[in-house]
Structure 1
Amino acid sequence: MLRLMLSVWLIVLSQDALAARPEVVVRLKDHLFHPAKVYVPANKKVKLIIINEDDDPEEFDSFALNREKVVFGQAKANLFIGPLPPGRYPFFGQYHPTTAQGEVIVLPPGEEVPDAH
């Protein structure tokens, strides 16, 4: 009985941890990332949701993040980044590298996302 209660407690804790994970949506339209600058907190795992609104596939690629993921046209893909120290991490679309460019900016603890205006 104790094992069962412990198992249930661990499942509840893990679901709470997943629910608290930050998510960021990046859209790909006309071979451009929107937003081109993505702000995430330092030292946290972040779910990056990439939505490709173009008809053509694109490969999200980042040497700095050590990530690559093909996102088919009119589809979406999820990938996880971090936890990362504060800094700037460029990414690009491998099939359209001159236009599809962006950057993940990891903010130090306590720093707010800059106003877009």
Structure 2
Amino acid sequence: MVSGKVRGLFGISLLAVAAISAAADLPTFRLEMKDGVLNPARIAVPAGQKIKIEIHNLGQSAAEFESVQLRKEKVLAPGAQSFVVIAPLQPGEYKFFDDFHTQAQGVIVAK
């Protein structure tokens, strides 16, 4: 007989695997951040579709992907990588920036 706690943990594990699998299937765009330089600074994405942006900090200092419009922020240590998942966007432009390097400004363009 399996206890309720074990069943609960198993259920949570299945949900986590499902979430990771769903994120892996999304259209994915790579963003490199390096000491105040964004590459690319302009990311064209499909409108009306959930997307994933892989963020790679190639610099020697911390970086922060932030977008007030999209309500997203992610801090990365030097050499770290992570991702953000963005809900389907209406056509338009959505600004993002590196909060630690004020000159690093970018835009996501949904078409």
Q: What TM-score, normalized to structure 1?
A: 0.73
- Are residue 70 (structure 1) and residue 75 (structure 2) matched? yes
Compute the displacement of 1:20 (Å): 3.9
Count of aligned residue pairs for this structure pair? 93
Quote the residue 1:104 is aligned against.
108
Q: In structure 2, do the counterparts of structure 1 residues 92 and 16 end up closer, same or farther at CA, with 3 Å as the change threshold?
A: closer
SS of residue matched to 1:100:
strand
- Mind listing any 5+ residue stretches in structure 2 that lack a counterpart? 1-18
Quote the residue 2:50 is aligned against.
45
The structure 2 residue matched to 1:83, chosen from 79, 85, 88, is: 88
Report the AA paired with residue 105 of structure 1.
V
Identical positions, percent:
37
Provide the rounded CA distance (Å) in 2 between the counterparts of 1:18 and 1:93.
Answer: 23
Q: In structure 2, do the counterparts of structure 1 residues 48 and 16 end up closer, same or farther at CA, with 3 Å as the change threshold?
A: closer
Report the AA paired with residue 47 of structure 1.
K
RMSD, aligned CA: 1.9
Q: In structure 2, do the counterparts of structure 1 residues 28 and 87 end up closer, same or farther at CA, with 3 Å as the change threshold?
A: same
Q: What TM-score, normalized to structure 2?
A: 0.76
- Mind listing any 5+ residue stretches in structure 1 that lack a counterpart? 1-13, 108-117
